[in-house]
Chains A and B, each alone.
Chain A
Amino acid sequence: MTMVTTINLDAATEESRWTLPQARGLEAANASIAAPLLERNRWNWLIWWIAFAASLAGSIVFFIAIYLIFSRGIGIWGVNTTIVWGFAIANYVWWIGIGNAGTLISAMLLLMRQPWRASTNRFAEAMTLFAAAIAGIFPIIHLGRPLYFYWLMPYPNTMHLWPQWRSALIWDFWAILSYILFSIIFWYVGLIPDFATLRDRARTKAPALIYGALALGWRGSAQHWHAYEVLHLALACLGVPLVVSLHSVVGMDFATSLMPGWQETIFPPYFVVGAMYSGFAMVVCLAALVRWGFRLEGLITIAHFNVMAKVMLMASIVMGLSYATEWFTAWYGGERADRGLLAFEFTGTYAPMFCTLLLCNVVIPQAFWFSPIRRSIATVFAIAVLINIGMWLERILIVWNTLSHDYTPSMWRQFLPTVWDWLTTFGSFAFFVLLYLVFVRLVPVVSMHEVRKLIAQEGPR
């Protein structure tokens, strides 16, 4: 199989390269990515099995919790008359935020001609797909009557009832649905040449047949590559506005309300940046794990962590600015409810969580100003985990703070999470891990053809 690309004969300098010498070369790249899938016996899967068992157990807990939500009602959660939303909404926003990064990395970086995306886009896209799918579960199970979630769809019915189009939840429904469909298509299109590679490299019949079927008859002809490039680019052009609109709509779930702390025009862009931020943090975590688990040090290099840390640094500054803007407008607007809410954020029931979120999202990531910290996988990984925690806290506090402290002091109450709140949250995480483990075992974690292209562009060693 050959690749239709120009080999760059003026080899790039070592500093500007995105691969290490041991992975350079088309066959080396193919081999290091395909080996775990095609040469299973040579690979030690023990840690994978342990992780699989743990995440399977967690996923079972997740589905038990969902069963109980259907059978006993959402009363098993800590939601109450005042704080009618809780973990489900926060989890939804968090997961959909994580679901943003894959598309951003693939599509936005593709359009911006950032070649380093080649080693990360596949597992980032998989992350997107699974996170978006899990995010899609939460708005359904959060309903009081989840059986009737399809009433949000405009389907013909005898009562001529249509959804209520002014509701941000309807926009949300379409945004998630189109985003999940897009993510599947984009991911699969990117996988077709790699499935063909796997088909061709397979040494036994079963993988050859399965990957062959998935490759949809890809032969690597120039016409195929041309069609692929056009489609991929077109999808990328579609994806970027979609990802921005998706999270803007999520922001509008709050912003189109009347509540202090929600009714803010900054919400759509602020939610998009927040989503990119948490998504990148999650990609960093997964990159570190994939690199370690599949010995892809040659393809996922320190340089990748360096550049992603820079993106996170930028995002953390934007987040900090967004928070400051919120506070400033609350104060400057002079509305009692807004000012009261601001005071409540810093001094109220959830103040320790609020301070933790500021620490995780704004203060600690400033360490990325320093090159040694950006270039150490351990510190980048640790800070990325903290950012994910901070972003989850941000989402839950957007819900809690406003609802706990709105216009009517007589109804000010607190949210007390129940065990089921925690189990649905951690259960969803376990389910994500489970899906991801299945993914890494069946599908090449790094896009082989794009890495080959990158290596070819960077020139010989």
Chain B
Amino acid sequence: MSKHAKSSGDIRRGEPPLEFDLDRRSALRLFVGGVAAALTSCGKPPEEIVPYVQIPERETPGLPLQFATALPLAGYGRGVIVTSVEGRPIKVNGNPRHPASLGSTDLYGEAAILSLYDPDRSKAPYSSKRIQSWSSLEAALRPRLDRHRTKQGEGLALLTGRITSPTLLAQIEALTKAMPLMRWYRYEPVDDDAVRGGAMLAFGQAATMLPRFRDARVVLALDADPIGFGPEQVRFAREIIEARRPRAPDESLRLYAVEPDWSLTGALADHRLALQPERIRNVAIEIARTLGAGLEEPGLPEEASQFAKTVAADLSARRGAALVLAGPRQPADVQALCHWINAQLLGPADFIAPVDRVATGHSESLRSLASEVRVGGIETLIVIGANPIYDAPGDIGFGDTVARVPFAVHIGCYRDETAERCTWHAPLTHVLEGWSDIRSFDGTASIIQPLIRPLYDSRDVHQILAMLQGELSASSLDIVRNTWKTAGGNDWDGWWRQTLQDGVVPNTASGKISLPEPRLPQVAPAAPAENYTLILSPDPSLFDGSMANNAWLQECAKPFTRQVWGNALHLAEADAHDLGMTDGDVVQLKRGEATLEAAIFVRPGQATRVISTTLGYGRTHAGSIGSGVGFDIYRLRQADTPWLSANVTISKTGRRENLLRTQHFFELEGEAEELQPRLTLADFAKGNRGDFKLNAPDANLPTLYPAPQYDTYEWAMAIDVSACIGCNACVVACQAENNVPVVGPEEIANGRDMHWLRIDDYVVDGRPGFTPMPCMHCEHAPCEPVCPVAASIHDSEGLNLQVYNRCVGTRFCESNCPYKVRRFNFFGYADGQEYANLGAEITKAVFNPDVSVRSRGVMEKCTYCVQRISGARREAEKEGRNVREGEVVTACQAACPTQAINLGNLSDPKANIHSLRTDARSYALLGNLGTRPRTTYLAHVRNPNPDFGKARR
């Protein structure tokens, strides 16, 4: 964490020193001017100012507005509805009309709002070590472009990430038409080359599989993580959880997972097998053989072989509702084999033409750019929105490559690693600042509309492309409208308005394509690897690293390890034991020439001989938050097999590092089973609870306290632990909604954190599980009687409230909270000591004006989003009625992709919350303490295959 010891000098670097050259007269003049300024400084500005008499259209001061737009992740869009307060976007919500959102969000979408106000964003073009104007960039670029144009674009190259924007694709196409020899390369670190290759191999044509999980009853994930982090996460998680909602075992989706490390899918699965990535193909072969494929018999260890056979039997028994998925880490032939298996099983999956139309692989594209540069074929390189110096696979050597390009321009939101190596850098607008459009993973297009004028002198991608085409004053709105001008029919303006309102362009989802019968690829079984294999995955917090400067994401605890502010190498328990290593030991990884030193976490349940880690860390030019956090694994990444590298050696360095986590893991003696009880569906369906003891929410213990009185509403929350996949969307949503500050790595190391909602990670029987922990709003709240100044009180609607300005900070409430959900401002985390950006003025724009910003020395905690309750109550009172069911939705509830969180009013006898509280699975956490929590849980239910006997890991 050496980087965090930064001096305030850092932020001043680059500013010219102030110089004063004063004589007596001018000093006096300044003095008089200063006195005059001081006299007027508290009043009106000297110029005439115009009061807010004419309110802008649609704007009512104090009332937020909602705008539909879309946010990209790995190039694919997720529809969102952004809340804007007096022209200032403050919160991202899901768009129910959008197929990749369904009304929910993911943590990256929630955190995008913080990046908008990131003070480290690039604010002006930059070249020759100083800021420049756009016109000087244009002046430098124009003669070069003119020269390329005369040569039909020879020597000009464009490098972008994955592009699904119809407008941008049209612009690139137009540019290519004007300059046929111009080359367009594209590279996205979270690629899908193997998946794409698998479809090519199986069907002879490119196709994207879209599983229909709602129709599936048995799913086998072979190193696949459909509910893991990515643009499809929300949709797939929703579908899988809905298919698994407790009902008869045969009607509920049973999930099997074979994977080398832990994924969210593996955690959710009813049966999971840890296996080296190379040998996962053997499971696929085994299953294909039972379906009649003439493939060589794979050698599998007894346990794995038994697993494969049982799964194969289950899959075959549910023909038509059985599906096998292979993840992007598996090579193309395994992918193709899975397509063949699915065809035999009549698996519920649709195929569409790839939304990303470029056929060339990502690594291949980047490599051909590198070799083109090496032979001197590129004179001008325009990098738009990509950061290949950081995220290119190490063996391409892209850093040296860019240095050879005579004229390289980087256009991006940050002056990042690539910007530092390019001749020019120019700022790109944030996605919430400009017009554009984008397709989701299933092809549905959305119009991206700006929520705010660009904060800085930046331009969006369409303006950049127009500039390359020679148009200097293009309007992005016109360019985007132009793309869609044929779509709207007669009433185009109405269509456009409706489309913007909906956030989805109607009828744009890709149509299903019919494919030939997949071929059976000749897949040879693999022998177990001799050495260690390094496997990578997108990071649960930072994804690919482009969002590394987002403090909300940096401080979002990763599932399984609860690590924050850094990444680690994960090692199986047995391997760590053999190597004599424990958590925090720094090891040296070596693959060929490349080496890397990093600290390890021992991860029970990971396959042996596997080292797993995540992308996105080790940034050097991310900004004041993200630079220097963690280690950069891209350097060890291979272009050919980007997600795994075989033959890695590992050795101890003897050093240790303090890895930061928000939850520590202990050997427990039954606490986990009590706090996170697990049922099996078969037992549950029979009404048999087994040895499962639940504190039913309404089994109230005797008490001496008088019964509480409520006048109107009685708010309560029910959280379905079965539906929680551990994705952290709720955690970041809560942070955004409630102005929850970040504390920074030093404070995390001190054991402090501020999240109002945390995810508890408990391992029962070797299987991790997740429990979201907001405040329980106990009816007999232990925090209330101990507060000497009545800052912790109960209101008439059953909410346990914290009165910030009454709090003196005795912290007795947190001492006495059995759930430990209260958070104390040991320093002024939100108010003057914001981590690392030192409270830059612009970051205050992100605050929700309905929620107080807490000062130093006070306690705070989850309020059930009391500001939203108040808002709904005001609306209801205006109309002279009660708040209706579903009118109050907390931020965590709105964000949850699987709708695991439900808030309701207990005083309404028809409310759904009653059925959730009386459900057979319902339990009160630590209800035996007599706290009568208003937040209750629905127990975790698995649907194990009875053929397995006892549920195994």
User: Given A161-B790, A170-B788, A72–B827 Cβ distance below 8 Å?
Assistant: yes
Segment among B151-159, B609-617, B752-760 that sits at the interface with chain A: B752-760
Nearest CB of B to A293, in Å: 40
Closest partner residue, chain A, to B790 (CB atom): A164
Complex Cα distance, B931 from A104, in Å, reads 40
| Contact, CB under 8 Å: B664 / A412 | yes
| Contact, CB under 8 Å: B758 / A410 | yes
Q: Could you say which residues of chain B place their CB within 8 Å of the CB of A166?
A: 785-786
| Contact, CB under 8 Å: B812 / A169 | yes
| Contact, CB under 8 Å: A145 / B807 | yes
Complex Cα distance, B809 from A149, in Å, reads 9
Complex Cα distance, B672 from A390, in Å, reads 35
Decide if A258 is an interface residue (CB 8 Å cutoff): yes
Segment among A27-35, A299-307, A400-408 that sits at the interface with chain B: A400-408
Q: How many residues of A contact B (CB 8 A)?
A: 49
Nearest CB of A to B953, in Å: 21
Nearest CB of A to B730, in Å: 16
Within 8 A of B (CB), among A158-193: 161-164, 166-170, 173
Closest partner residue, chain B, to A80 (CB atom): B751
Complex Cα distance, B750 from A167, in Å, reads 29
Complex Cα distance, B340 from A332, in Å, reads 62
Complex Cα distance, B859 from A81, in Å, reads 10
Q: Could you say which residues of chain A place their CB within 8 Å of the CB of B789?
A: 151-152, 161, 163-164
| Contact, CB under 8 Å: A409 / B666 | yes
- A422-433: CB near B (< 8 Å → 1, else 0) gives 000000000000
Decide if A111 is an interface residue (CB 8 Å cutoff): no
Q: Could you say which residues of chain A place their CB within 8 Å of the CB of B931?
A: 258
Segment among B60-68, B396-404, B413-421, B818-826 that sits at the interface with chain A: B818-826
User: Given A84-B815, A85-B815, A411-B663, A75–B827 Cβ distance below 8 Å?
Assistant: yes
| Contact, CB under 8 Å: B760 / A410 | yes
Q: Could you say which residues of chain A place their CB within 8 Å of the CB of B758?
A: 410
Complex Cα distance, B808 from A173, in Å, reads 14
Complex Cα distance, B815 from A298, in Å, reads 51
Nearest CB of B to A55, in Å: 30
Q: Could you say which residues of chain B place their CB within 8 Å of the CB of A409?
A: 666, 668, 671-672, 675, 762
Within 8 A of A (CB), among B787-810: 787-790, 806-810
- A131-164: CB near B (< 8 Å → 1, else 0) gives 0000000000011111011011000000001111
Complex Cα distance, B930 from A258, in Å, reads 10
| Contact, CB under 8 Å: A167 / B786 | yes
Closest partner residue, chain B, to A405 (CB atom): B666
User: Given A84-B824, A406-B818, A408-B819, A143–B809 Cβ distance below 8 Å?
Assistant: yes
- A73-100: CB near B (< 8 Å → 1, else 0) gives 1110011111111000000000000000
| Contact, CB under 8 Å: A257 / B751 | no
| Contact, CB under 8 Å: A258 / B929 | yes
- B770-798: CB near A (< 8 Å → 1, else 0) gives 00010000000010011111100000000
User: Given A85-B815, A257-B816, A143–B808 Cβ distance below 8 Å?
Assistant: yes
Q: Could you say which residues of chain A place their CB within 8 Å of the CB of B819?
A: 407-408
| Contact, CB under 8 Å: B674 / A336 | yes
| Contact, CB under 8 Å: B857 / A73 | yes
| Contact, CB under 8 Å: B788 / A163 | yes
Decide if A366 is an interface residue (CB 8 Å cutoff): no
Closest partner residue, chain B, to A86 (CB atom): B811
| Contact, CB under 8 Å: B669 / A340 | yes
Decide if A416 is an interface residue (CB 8 Å cutoff): yes
Is chain B's interface secondary structure helix, strand, loop, or mixed overall? loop
Q: Could you say which residues of chain B place their CB within 8 Å of the CB of A74?
A: 809, 826, 857
Which among B747, B762, B785, B820 is the interface contact of A406 at CB below 8 angstroms?
Answer: B820
The CB with the most chain B CB atoms within 10 A, among A78, A408, A412, is that of A408
Decide if A311 is an interface residue (CB 8 Å cutoff): no
Closest partner residue, chain B, to A74 (CB atom): B826
Nearest CB of A to B186, in Å: 42
User: Given A75-B826, A152-B788, A258–B818 Cβ distance below 8 Å?
Assistant: yes
Decide if A259 is an interface residue (CB 8 Å cutoff): yes
Complex Cα distance, B672 from A325, in Å, reads 28
Closest partner residue, chain B, to A340 (CB atom): B669
Q: Could you say which residues of chain A place their CB within 8 Å of the CB of B824?
A: 81, 84, 144
Nearest CB of A to B947, in Å: 34
Decide if A375 is an interface residue (CB 8 Å cutoff): no
Q: Could you say which residues of chain A place their CB within 8 Å of the CB of B753?
A: 81
Which among A81, A161, A340 is the interface contact of B814 at CB below 8 angstroms?
Answer: A81
| Contact, CB under 8 Å: B751 / A145 | no
Decide if B858 is an interface residue (CB 8 Å cutoff): yes
Decide if B454 is an interface residue (CB 8 Å cutoff): no
Nearest CB of A to B860, in Å: 11
Decide if A256 is an interface residue (CB 8 Å cutoff): yes
| Contact, CB under 8 Å: A81 / B815 | no
| Contact, CB under 8 Å: A256 / B752 | no
Closest partner residue, chain A, to B856 (CB atom): A73
Q: Could you say which residues of chain B place their CB within 8 Å of the CB of A356?
A: none
Decide if B489 is an interface residue (CB 8 Å cutoff): no
Nearest CB of B to A395, in Å: 15
Complex Cα distance, B758 from A164, in Å, reads 30
| Contact, CB under 8 Å: A169 / B790 | no
User: Given A74-B826, A408-B819, A83–B786 Cβ distance below 8 Å?
Assistant: no
Decide if A245 is an interface residue (CB 8 Å cutoff): no
Decide if B828 is an interface residue (CB 8 Å cutoff): yes
Decide if B442 is an interface residue (CB 8 Å cutoff): no
Complex Cα distance, B788 from A161, in Å, reads 12
| Contact, CB under 8 Å: B790 / A408 | no
| Contact, CB under 8 Å: A149 / B808 | yes
Decide if B720 is an interface residue (CB 8 Å cutoff): no
Closest partner residue, chain B, to A82 (CB atom): B820
| Contact, CB under 8 Å: A152 / B808 | yes
| Contact, CB under 8 Å: A80 / B750 | yes
Nearest CB of A to B762, in Å: 7
Complex Cα distance, B671 from A166, in Å, reads 31
Nearest CB of A to B509, in Å: 41
| Contact, CB under 8 Å: A257 / B786 | yes
Decide if B106 is an interface residue (CB 8 Å cutoff): no
| Contact, CB under 8 Å: B816 / A258 | yes
Closest partner residue, chain B, to A148 (CB atom): B808
Complex Cα distance, B406 from A395, in Å, reads 70
| Contact, CB under 8 Å: A413 / B811 | no
Complex Cα distance, B639 from A385, in Å, reads 68
Decide if B670 is an interface residue (CB 8 Å cutoff): yes
| Contact, CB under 8 Å: A144 / B663 | no
Decide if B926 is an interface residue (CB 8 Å cutoff): yes
Q: Could you say which residues of chain B place their CB within 8 Å of the CB of A143?
A: 808-810, 857
The CB with the most chain B CB atoms within 10 A, among A73, A79, A414, is that of A73
The CB with the most chain A CB atoms within 10 A, among B788, B814, B825, is that of B788
Nearest CB of A to B776, in Å: 11
Complex Cα distance, B810 from A173, in Å, reads 12
The CB with the most chain A CB atoms within 10 A, among B675, B750, B789, B815, is that of B815
Nearest CB of B to A353, in Å: 18
- B716-749: CB near A (< 8 Å → 1, else 0) gives 0000000000000000000000000000000100
| Contact, CB under 8 Å: B752 / A80 | yes
Complex Cα distance, B762 from A161, in Å, reads 43
| Contact, CB under 8 Å: B675 / A408 | yes
Nearest CB of A to B775, in Å: 13
Closest 5 CB pairs of A and B: A144-B809, A80-B751, A144-B857, A75-B826, A84-B811
Of the A-B pairs whose beta carbons lie under 8 Å apart in the complex, a sample of 24, sorted by A's number, is: A73-B827, A74-B809, A81-B752, A83-B751, A84-B824, A142-B810, A144-B809, A144-B824, A145-B809, A145-B856, A149-B808, A152-B808, A161-B790, A163-B788, A164-B785, A258-B782, A258-B929, A259-B818, A336-B671, A406-B818, A409-B666, A409-B668, A409-B672, A415-B751
Interface residues of B (CB under 8 A from A): 663-664, 666, 668-672, 674-675, 747, 750-753, 758, 760-762, 773, 782, 785-790, 806-812, 814-816, 818-820, 823-828, 856-859, 926, 929, 931
| Apart from A75-B827, A407-B929: 8 A-B pairs, beta carbons within 8 A | A74-B809, A82-B820, A143-B810, A144-B810, A151-B789, A151-B806, A258-B929, A409-B672
